[in-house]
Amino acid sequence: MARQKGIIKLKGSIGDVSFYKTQDGYLAREKGGVDKERIKNDPAFQRTRENGAEFGRAGSATRILRTAFRPLLLKTSDGRVTSRLTKEMMKVVKADQVNARGERNVLDGELELLQGFEFNINGRLGATMYAPYDATIDRATGAAAVNIPDFIPQNAIAYPQGATHVKFVSAGAEINFEEDSFNLVTSESAEIVIGPQNEAAVNLANALPAGSVSPLFLAFGIEFYQEVNGVFYPLKNGAYNALSLVTVDGGA
């Protein structure tokens, strides 16, 4: 593909060249490629078919995970979260040491590789939250919790200009990738003034089904607000909010 230059930007097609707009600007590319039927049947494209099958599984798993955490992602995600998460999910698939190439999947892979994934690349949890916290999943009881010891907000949190309050959020998810289903439980703190006061410990508890055999995920994040006349307004529509997968238990 090529980047369009000049004052006038084109969208559409001229001859064999397509012009279109992306997040990276206005681009152009030449039409063409291998015939679809040939890719499906020609032995020369066996590797292509294998790669496509595994990419499809990674894409489906990405969709289910994003759907499960959608209530939080509505407030905290960047424009490329889908492509970034799919890239990481492909690493999960490729870690499968059980199945042959083309048959590898997320359940036989290493879902724990997703631990630490940031849903908002512009507001990383690691660059926002400096207070220590403990994130745990107890598969036997189903308890998925984040515990934050007492802290001083203005020292423990890197807050953007204009923010007056912060809220901690967490969510535990049980995801059945084979049946395309999930359970989500969320919890949140009250709005906390960003100041020099000492705040008591915060416990965010999410009760998932006990004894589940499905993969379990725990997300933890921070939302920023500006208080005006007693009303809390999301700061910059959540542009600075952070959310990360802090614990992942892929199961047996």
For the residues 163-181, what does the mean pLDDT come to?
96
- Place 53 in a pLDDT band, splitting at 50, 70 and 90: confident
* Burial bucket for residue 198 (CB in 10 Å: 0-12, 13-18, 19+): exposed
CA distance 119 to 63: 13
- pLDDT digit string, tens, across residues 76-132: 888 899 999 999 999 999 999 999 989 999 999 999 999 999 999 999 999 999 999
Give the chain's largest Cα–Cα span: 68
Checking if the pLDDT of 134 tops 80, the result is yes
CA distance 54 to 36: 18
Q: Which CATH architecture has domain 114-249?
A: Sandwich (2.60)
Checking if the pLDDT of 23 tops 90, the result is no
Query: In 52-74, which positions are buried (b, 16+ CB within 10 angstroms) versus exposed (e)?
Result: ebbeebbebbbebbbebbeebbe
Contact 94, 101 (CB under 8 A): no
- Tell me how far CA of residue 48 lies from CA of 35, 40, 145, 153, 197, in angstroms: 13, 9, 42, 52, 59
- pTM given for the model: 0.84
Q: Any idea where the domains of the chain sit in the sequence?
A: 1-32, 114-249
Report the SS3 class of residue 133: coil
Percentage of the chain beyond pLDDT 90 is: 71
Least confident of 2-6, 64-68, 235-239: 2-6
Return the closest-CA partner of residue 160 out of 225, 228, 80, 68: 225
Q: Tell me, what's the pLDDT at 92?
A: 96
For the residues 151-161, what does the mean pLDDT come to?
95
